[in-house]
Chains A and B, each alone.
Chain A
Amino acid sequence: MTRDLITLDGVSKHFSPTPSLAARLAGLVTGRRPAAVRAVTDVDLAVRPGEVVGLVGESGCGKSTLARLVAGLAVPSAGRVLFEGRDRASLPPRERRAAALAVQMIFQDASSSLNPRLRVEDIVGEAPVTHGLVPARERRDAVAALLGRVGLPADAMTRYPHQFSGGQRARIGIARALAVKPRLLVCDESVAALDVSIQAQVLNLFMDLRRDLGLTYLFVSHDLGVIAHIADRVCVMYLGRIVEEAPAETLFAAPAHPYTVSLLAQTPRLVPGKRRFTGLTGEPPSPLAPPPGCHFHPRCPAAIPRCRSEAPLLRPVGPGQRVACHRDRSEFLPETRGSAADPAVAS
């Protein structure tokens, strides 16, 4: 068995507000601490070399925080992040730097993640030279090769980010990430802001890079269509927890968590024929005060009393499929409807 590239071991991330002086004094008297946002709670996740792991969920579910934890841009409040089986926090400096370079992040908004005052040559070429991956005198050639790799002309290097379209800026962001020869790309909604036709171009580029460079991806998106297309394995998050994890085919054909089922059912599909939209009732609760037990129970059509008191743990339900739900799929989803919940992948 191959060693995991990245392993999250019981990782949590909480954000506490910095209290004002008055709040601190009040806290001294009452002994109450300000509520922390539990962005990510006790997540176990392994990313194996060469695979594309998709992470889906709605806003506020903690998927971006999880991406930042994997990319090393956030430090876990609890738990460990292992790189090739070794705790990243306790690596010696040299290896820690290598581990950091091996995981690169590609952001949603390319224009706010590119320095507007730097030319593309500096944006893409700075990191590899600083880290000694490319000698300074070979920087130009290295940048030209990277730009070619992502489908930009070599003369792009003398220009500034504002001179490019959204799709081209996304390519610059990708070239910058590739410059330090990463093994894992963490893509946080990297195609969400792009028009469909441009999104297709960038998704194709991601797949080419995977094939040619043997890259591994953690692909975060709210768009199930994109995830269904690109991911090998999918994790579904709800309010800080992973509620279901499965190979992509399994997840889209036979979802086992009621939340996944309703997500799939409510995603608009590009198939002819008017349909009745039926909303899942309610809204995601605030991560400041998550409901007790299973976080999904107030909106869940299959909730039973046990769901209100006891948080379900991830349990295996099939090959590679784990689900955090007290109920069995057959109890809330008659088999006949199983294929009706099948999303776009079928078409």
Chain B
Amino acid sequence: MTAPVLSVEALSVAFRTEHGDLTALDRIDLAVSPGEVVGLVGESGSGKSVTGLALMGLIDAPGRISGGAIRFEGRDLVGLPERDLRSLRGTRLAMIFQDPMTTLNPVLRVDTQMVEAIHAHERVSAAAARARAREALVRVGIPAPDERLRAYPHQLSGGMRQRIAIAIALLHRPALLIADEPTTALDVTIQAQILAEAQTLCAEMGTALVWITHDLAVVAGLADRICVMYAGRIVEEGPVAAVIEAPMHPYTAGLIGSSPSRNARGAPLTQIPGLAPSLGRRPPGCAFAPRCPSATPDCAEPPPVAALPGRTALCRHPLHGEVRA
């Protein structure tokens, strides 16, 4: 097994509010190998987007990384000076967002922005940069690239904008690409196109991919490993197929069970009762305990790690596997 390109240890992120510090991310561990696709799945507020931002060093005040380490290509990104982070972002580390307009400047033509992104990190001639930009568009499957280079973002469809955002992210062949719900706003047929591009490109370039989404089905077809997040923690981690076939954590089981496609047509869906706790009201022990069908009184204590070969879950009563002593 190759050494991971990214290894996150006990990373915590807190936001300062008038009610004291709120922990958005609570001691998460994550390792990603070169060329690997890791799916980070969770519902709104589970901390999956904060994880992506933290990996990019994009947590701004009142938020801060309150503990842990992000080891990327041998360096700890936590506490790295902003200068060094800037030179990593865009070259070794890249991110795409749900709304490509987060990445694209609405008043600049596509070629201007792409050339700018190349010049930010490399000294090449304008013509060479433009040629690279064109090549990048071809790589993400954009028809008529010369025409698109001269277009403004508003002249392009949502799917096309997302492809351009991906092309920009991959300009410098990053070692790690973080994708935060990049296909959520897109139609099924366009989503499939983007997933196909992401799959091919990361395989070709050996780029590791962290795919953040609320949609388990996307991760099921795309990722090698899956991390399920709940209330700021990774509650289950393992190979995708194994996790979907036999989830260890009751929350993962509940998520899979509430998917309409997993239920007989018209039969009541398995539902997880209640709501995810808000940041300030997380119970001291297992945050899922109040909604959990297997919870017992001792779930008010912090949950232990349960394990199976290559898999872990934070649960006292795992559906599969043994609780580590």
Q: Which chain A residues have a beta carbon within 8 Å of chain B's beta carbons? A: 58-59, 165-167, 195-201, 203-204, 207, 222-226, 228-230, 248-249, 262-263, 266-280, 283-284, 343-345, 347
Instruction: Check A347–B262 contact: CB distance below 8 A.
Output: yes
**Measured CA separation A248–B160 after assembly (Å):** 32
Instruction: Check A224–B187 contact: CB distance below 8 A.
Output: no
Q: Does B193 contact A (CB under 8 A)?
A: yes
**Measured CA separation A248–B273 after assembly (Å):** 29
A residues less than 8 Å from B270 (CB atoms)? 200
Chain B residues bordering chain A, tally (CB within 8 A):
53
Instruction: Check A269–B221 contact: CB distance below 8 A.
Output: yes
Instruction: Check A345–B221 contact: CB distance below 8 A.
Output: no
Residue of B nearest to A284 (CB): B187
B residues less than 8 Å from A199 (CB atoms)? 258
Q: Can you list 16 A-B pairs with a CB-CB distance of less than 8 A? A: A196-B255, A200-B272, A222-B187, A225-B259, A268-B195, A269-B217, A271-B220, A272-B240, A272-B244, A274-B224, A275-B221, A277-B195, A277-B221, A279-B196, A283-B189, A283-B190
Q: Does B192 contact A (CB under 8 A)?
A: yes
Q: Does B44 contact A (CB under 8 A)?
A: yes
Pairs A-B, 9 closest by C-beta atoms = A344-B261, A279-B193, A200-B258, A272-B241, A229-B260, A266-B192, A58-B187, A268-B217, A195-B43
**Measured CA separation A277–B270 after assembly (Å):** 29
Min C-beta distance of A207 to chain B, whole Å: 7
Q: Does B322 contact A (CB under 8 A)?
A: no
Q: Does B155 contact A (CB under 8 A)?
A: no
Q: Take A203-B269, A268-B220, A269-B220 as given contacts and tell me if A196 and B214 are in contact as well, using a CB distance cutoff of 8 Å.
A: yes
B residues less than 8 Å from A277 (CB atoms)? 192-193, 195-196, 199, 221-222
Q: Take A270-B256, A279-B196 as given contacts and tell me if A248 and B265 are in contact as well, using a CB distance cutoff of 8 Å.
A: yes
Q: Does B218 contact A (CB under 8 A)?
A: yes
Instruction: Check B261–A228 contact: CB distance below 8 A.
Output: yes
Min C-beta distance of A343 to chain B, whole Å: 7
Within 8 A of A (CB), among B187-226: 187-197, 199, 214-218, 220-224
Q: Take A59-B187, A268-B221 as given contacts and tell me if A195 and B196 are in contact as well, using a CB distance cutoff of 8 Å.
A: no
Residue of A nearest to B224 (CB): A274
A residues less than 8 Å from B241 (CB atoms)? 272-274
**Measured CA separation A196–B41 after assembly (Å):** 11
Within 8 A of A (CB), among B238-291: 240-242, 244-245, 254-263, 265-266, 268-273, 275-276
Instruction: Check A345–B265 contact: CB distance below 8 A.
Output: yes
B199, B214, B220: which has the most chain A beta carbons within 10 Å?
B220
Residue of B nearest to A226 (CB): B260
Q: Does B100 contact A (CB under 8 A)?
A: no
Min C-beta distance of A210 to chain B, whole Å: 10
Instruction: Check A195–B265 contact: CB distance below 8 A.
Output: no
Question: Which residue in B197, B254, B261, B272 is a CB contact (below 8 Å) of A225?
Answer: B261
Min C-beta distance of B241 to chain A, whole Å: 4
A residues less than 8 Å from B222 (CB atoms)? 268, 274, 277
Question: Which residue in A204, A263, A273 is a CB contact (below 8 Å) of B269?
Answer: A204
Q: Does B232 contact A (CB under 8 A)?
A: no
Instruction: Check B215–A268 contact: CB distance below 8 A.
Output: yes
Question: Which residue in A196, A201, A226, A279 is a CB contact (below 8 Å) of B192?
Answer: A279
**Measured CA separation A226–B141 after assembly (Å):** 31
Q: Does B303 contact A (CB under 8 A)?
A: no
Instruction: Check B261–A276 contact: CB distance below 8 A.
Output: no
B residues less than 8 Å from A58 (CB atoms)? 187-190
Q: Does B159 contact A (CB under 8 A)?
A: yes
**Measured CA separation A228–B241 after assembly (Å):** 23
Instruction: Check A229–B196 contact: CB distance below 8 A.
Output: no
Instruction: Check B271–A200 contact: CB distance below 8 A.
Output: yes
Min C-beta distance of B234 to chain A, whole Å: 18
A residues less than 8 Å from B214 (CB atoms)? 195-196
Q: Does B157 contact A (CB under 8 A)?
A: yes
